Structure 1
Amino acid sequence: MNIKKRKIREVGNSIVVTLSKESLLQKGLKPGDTIFIDEDKMMEAIVKEESKIDLEIDMYVNQALSEYDAAFKELVEK
């Protein structure tokens, strides 16, 4: 999980969410490119900052589950 904090800005009559240059380069994108966005997936990925604590807890739980997966499976088998 790679969670980044971003600001929502108003530019003229538009609302803008910025992306890092690194993220754009990974997809081979540059300013001016036209892209398509799966809004259902995007909505699942957006979490308002008030929920940051829950996100951090989820992140640490997922990290622990990944890191200690074999140990947890071994405990279940006993």
Structure 2
Amino acid sequence: MNKDPLEGVTLKEIVTLLQARYGFDELGQRINIRCFTQEPSVASSLKFLRKTPWARTKVETLYIETLHARPPSAGV
């Protein structure tokens, strides 16, 4: 069965997970959009991403790639 990894996941959950995993500095390097590079917050990011389909697609793609990546090693 090929389940959509975005099914049942809110944009807020995606941004929160990515921010916790990478921090806004690295998110801004991975996806160069102002909501991650200039005065970033989850709330401002959500506002921008909900109005900007191309940016939302990039964030969703990074989320899917993150799900398939190996978890970071503890203590490293």
Superposition TM-score, scaled by structure 2 size: 0.30
Greater relative CO, 1 or 2 (CA 8 Å, sep 6+): 2
Return the structure number with greater strand share: 1
With structure 1 as the length reference, what TM-score do the two structures score? 0.30
